[in-house]
């Protein structure tokens, strides 16, 4: 019984001491100073005058205890610790100053290390800083800092762009001018317009532009191959100023002219005609859009009320310029928003 009780009493006393010290410090810090008193002493950092006082009196008295008594009588506060007084005295003898010296800061990266990082990214500019850190045995923060500040190399993100020919610029300009004229002649033209497009969502994610970076001092122009024949889903949507039509999922893996025409006749056109009898339908220059059966259907159903790729005998309103995804609402907004909901990657073009 005695061997069991003594350890319990010992631990109990230690627990009480710990809690009493905490309560005592709280009372001393938060309660007693506003009342003009103190329960115990707490030390504050010494200023320049107090350090000078300690140095001069220690130089004369040669006694730390005497300096502490004189400090208490002079400043009406608890004196600095003995080690602090000795360290101030030794510092003044070494440097001639009691002021805190400037920190040496972070050590600079050597030229040899910087050259190793340069050669590593010149041989493979698409590697990540984490991979370079593992290969070189250098901290990742050092690799990143050297790339940005010393080598002036910046990470460039991949962007999917379509190559424009010289004739494409003229066609795009003509389309924009004609489109502005239509908006000026008809105040309700934009409300009548129905944009449409289809997108292919790949199960492989295709090119991961969110995580791929190319380091270089200038913006690089690279081509990255995509994975072919990956699982995919073809989705169609149309959008107006007040409504989104869709999504419509094509049953076939590839959308051809017949598949697209069947979608128009059985699904899209009944909805558009139900909402308005005077709408203008837009479709881009995808191969299935200018199939002869599709063009004939649009000429019969919407004469002079459709915008798309056409030939001279078609009854279209405007000729859609090739390779112009930036002119459609679906491309520069809708599909990116849908992909954000799917994968969290907003910066994606189809």
**Residue ranges making up the domain that contains 331:** 175-211+222-343
Residues 92 and 128 reside in one and the same domain: no
Which residues on adjacent β-strands are paired with residue 195?
239
Residues 118-141: tens digit of each pLDDT: 999 988 888 888 889 999 999 999
Residue 164 inside a domain? The answer is no
Contacts of 334 by beta carbon, 8 Å cutoff, 6+ apart: 197, 237, 239, 244
Contacts of 174 by beta carbon, 8 Å cutoff, 6+ apart: 321
Longest CA–CA span in the chain (Å) reads 112
The number of folded domains in the chain is: 4
Residues 192 and 318 reside in one and the same domain: yes
Residues 25 and 120 reside in one and the same domain: no
Residue 349 inside a domain? The answer is no
Residues 243 and 333 reside in one and the same domain: yes
Residues 147-170: tens digit of each pLDDT: 988 898 888 777 666 677 888 888
Residues 306 and 240 reside in one and the same domain: yes
Question: Burial of 150 by CB count in 10 Å (0-12 exposed, 13-18 middle, 19+ buried)?
Answer: middle
Residues 235-265: tens digit of each pLDDT: 999 999 999 998 999 988 889 999 999 999 9
Residues 25 and 90 reside in one and the same domain: no
Which residues on adjacent β-strands are paired with residue 104?
none
CATH number of the domain where residue 61 is located = 1.10.10
Which residues on adjacent β-strands are paired with residue 171?
none
pLDDT mean over 292-316: 92
Mean pLDDT of the chain, nearest integer: 79
Positive or negative torsion for Cα 25, 31, 32, 33: positive
Residues 248 and 147 reside in one and the same domain: no
CATH number of the domain where residue 295 is located = 3.30.420.10
Residues 48-83: tens digit of each pLDDT: 888 888 888 898 888 989 999 999 998 888 888 889
Residues 278-299: tens digit of each pLDDT: 999 999 888 898 899 999 999 9
Residues 27 and 75 reside in one and the same domain: no
On the question of pLDDT at 201 being above 80, the answer is: no
Residue 350 inside a domain? The answer is no
pTM over 0.75: no
Residue 314 inside a domain? The answer is yes
pLDDT (0 to 100) of residue 1:
44
Residues 204-245: tens digit of each pLDDT: 655 444 445 555 666 666 555 555 566 778 899 999 999 999
Residue 231 inside a domain? The answer is yes
Residues 179-198: tens digit of each pLDDT: 999 999 999 999 999 999 98
159 vs 177, residue with greater confidence: 177
Residues 186 and 235 reside in one and the same domain: yes
Residue 292 inside a domain? The answer is yes
Q: Contact 32/44 with Cβ under 8 angstroms?
A: no
Residues 94 and 238 reside in one and the same domain: no
Nearest to 193 by CA among 329, 294, 340: 329
Residues 1-36: tens digit of each pLDDT: 445 555 555 555 555 555 555 554 544 545 444 444
CA dihedral 296, 302, 303, 308 (to 10 degrees): -70
Residue that is last in its domain, among 99, 120, 135:
99
pLDDT (0 to 100) of residue 211:
45
Residues 18 and 92 reside in one and the same domain: no
Residue 122 inside a domain? The answer is yes
Residues 195 and 61 reside in one and the same domain: no
pLDDT (0 to 100) of residue 328:
80
Residue 167 inside a domain? The answer is no
Interatomic CA distance for residues 47 and 50, integer angstroms: 5
Q: If you write DSSP's letter for every residue of 277-303 in order, what string do you get?
A: SS-EEE----TTTT-HHHHHHHHHHST
237 vs 332, residue with greater confidence: 237
pLDDT band at 93 (very low <50, low <70, confident <90, very high): confident
Length of the chain (residues) = 350
């Amino acid at each position: 019984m005695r061997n069991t009780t003594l350890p319990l009493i010992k631990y109990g006393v230690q627990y009480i001491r710990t809690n009493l010290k905490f309560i005592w410090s709280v009372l001393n810090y938060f309660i007693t100073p506003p009342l003009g008193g103190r329960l115990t002493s707490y030390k504050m950092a010494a200023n320049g005058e107090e350090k000078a006082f300690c140095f001069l009196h220690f130089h004369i008295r040669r006694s730390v205890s005497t300096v502490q008594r004189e400090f208490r009588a002079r400043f009406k506060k608890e004196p600095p610790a003995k080690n602090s007084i000795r360290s101030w005295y030794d510092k003044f003898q070494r440097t001639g100053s009691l002021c805190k010296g400037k920190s040496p800061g972070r050590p600079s990266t050597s030229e040899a290390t910087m050259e190793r990082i340069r050669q590593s990214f010149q041989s493979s500019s698409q590697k990540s800083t984490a991979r370079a850190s593992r290969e070189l045995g250098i901290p990742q923060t050092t690799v990143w800092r050297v790339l940005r500040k010393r080598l002036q190399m910046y990470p460039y993100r991949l962007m999917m762009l379509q190559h424009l020919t010289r004739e494409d610029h003229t066609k795009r300009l003509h389309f924009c001018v004609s489109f502005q004229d239509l908006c000026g002649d008809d105040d309700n033209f934009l409300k009548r317009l129905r944009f449409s497009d289809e997108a292919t969502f790949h199960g492989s994610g295709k090119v991961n532009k969110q995580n791929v970076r190319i380091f270089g001092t200038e913006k690089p122009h690279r081509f990255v191959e995509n994975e072919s024949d990956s699982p995919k889903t073809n989705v169609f949507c149309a959008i107006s100023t007040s409504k989104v039509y869709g999504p419509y999922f094509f049953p076939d893996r590839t959308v051809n002219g017949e598949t697209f025409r069947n979608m128009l006749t059985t699904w899209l056109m009944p909805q558009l005609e139900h909402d308005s009898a005077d709408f203008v339908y837009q479709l881009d220059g995808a191969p299935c859009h200018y199939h002869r059966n599709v063009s004939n259907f649009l000429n019969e159903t919407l004469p002079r009320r459709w915008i798309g790729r056409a030939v001279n005998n078609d009854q279209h309103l405007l000729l859609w310029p090739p390779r112009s995804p930036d002119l459609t609402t679906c491309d520069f907004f809708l599909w990116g928003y849908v992909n954000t909901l799917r994968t969290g990657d907003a910066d994606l073009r189809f």
